[in-house]
Amino acid sequence: MSQPPNTLQVQHRASLREYNTFGLPAVAATLVRLASVADVRRVVDHREYGVAAKFVLGGGSNVVLTRDFAGVVLKVEIMGRRLLREEADAWIVEVGAGEPWHEVVSWTVQQGWPGLENLALIPGSTGAAPVQNIGAYGVELKDRFESLDAVDLVTGRTVTLDAPACRFGYRDSVFKQHLAGKSVITRVRLRLPRPWQPVLGYLDLERKMAESGQRTPDAQTVFDWVCAIRRAKLPDPAVIGNAGSFFKNPVVSPEQCRDIIGRDPAVVHYLLPDGSYKLAAGWLIDACGWKGKSVGRAGVYDKQALVLVNRGGASGAEVVTLARAIQESVYGRFGIRLEPEPVIL
Ligand code: EPU
């Protein structure tokens, strides 16, 4: 049934299974679809929804639903994308938070505004991209970020945040810290630098360059390479439920790194600019023998141990049980506590 545009689209006892890429079962007491900034204000001003507990859902690609939600789930469906302005050293593109991220990447590359190609095929919505500062193959969202608009869920006021205000970190931002659950991102502005330089320092991309013999690939070629690399390693959520990397890559001190190398010299580690080391969580999990294993209907993907998958009909509790078992065995063998990347609800 079509709704008048000035009325909120509300669904009661709404199944969330279709709205999370893990395909986990959960029911929201109320689901409200937000098609505009005005809709966010309608929720804030609403007698009942204004005071209810709220959970903001984007593309549902970074969440593990372990229970039904008694409050209001806000599904962000604000659309629209345009070139906002052209500057001497950048194209500034503005995108509605509900736009699927990969389609935005693909569109910008086709329009001749490159810069997002390393972030191709990351599932989820554009509004969710800054929340966890998505990153892949040497580029993070913060490297291509101009500003965003968010509506405060208590006051209904719109604020514009620049990069310092977002406090981006590795898979982290102010929206995972003190603004968690307090505001809805409505629009994101991206800064695509010109002239464009490809970012090819990542091992997987270096391999593609060597195989193809192309020394100066264009953005479309890098986009195609990233898509091919991801398709070979990561499960398509439309086929096998998952939420991408389940754990963050842990950062340790040089002493801890030496200790772990002492336990297993093959550990994959990268020196960071501040002198600490990032360890490959996928390697640690793999070394503990988890690749391809299952606990109940939740499992560890057989081509990349960092990705937990729904083997069909898993519950959020099964995923969390598997995650805890992995954390215990990695802690037991390496003394490292792995931290989950998705939000666990
Ligand atoms: N490795 C193993 N066994 C495994 C998995 C990985 O030995 O089962 C080793 C690999 O051989 C490699 C190293 O671990 O030497 C790192 O693996 P990979 O290059 O696949 O990257 P990653 O650290 O697993 C991170 C991001 C991904 C991102 C890729 C590429 C995190 C938590 N994950 O994965 O992001 O696509 O780098 O940049 O930082 C995501 O956040 O959801 C995500 C997929």
Instruction: Share the mean pLDDT of the chain.
Output: 95
pLDDT in tens, 203-244: 999 999 999 999 899 999 999 999 999 999 999 999 999 999
| 155: Cβ contacts below 8 Å, ≥ 6 apart | 44
User: How many domains in the chain?
Assistant: 3
DSSP class per residue in 193-228: ESS------SHHHHHHHHHHT-SS--HHHHHHHHHH
**Same domain, residue pair 89 and 113:** yes
270 CA to centre of ligand 1 in angstroms: 12
Cβ atoms of 103 and 152 closer than 8 Å = no
Q: Nearest residue CA, atom 9 of ligand 1?
A: 283
Q: Is the pTM of this model over 0.75?
A: yes
**Same domain, residue pair 60 and 125:** no
pLDDT in tens, 38-67: 999 999 999 999 999 999 998 999 999 999
Residue 209 placed within a domain: no
Which comes out higher in pLDDT, residue 43 or 4? 43
For a pocket test of ligand 1, which of 131, 133, 203, 283 has the largest count of ligand atoms closer than 8 A to its C-beta?
Answer: 283
Cβ atoms of 314 and 297 closer than 8 Å = yes
pLDDT in tens, 22-39: 999 999 999 999 999 999
Cβ atoms of 191 and 141 closer than 8 Å = no
Among candidate residues 29, 48, 76, the one where a domain is terminated: 76
**Same domain, residue pair 86 and 188:** yes
Per-residue pLDDT at 1: 46
Task: List the domain range (segments joined by +) for residue 29.
Answer: 9-76
Give buried/exposed letters for 3-29 (b at 16+ CB in 10 A, else e): eeeeebeeeeebebeebbbbbbebbbe
**Same domain, residue pair 51 and 92:** no
SS3 263: helix
Per-residue pLDDT at 5: 58
d(CA 340, CA 123): 17
**Same domain, residue pair 314 and 251:** yes
Looking at the predicted structure, is the pLDDT value of residue 2 above 90? Answer: no
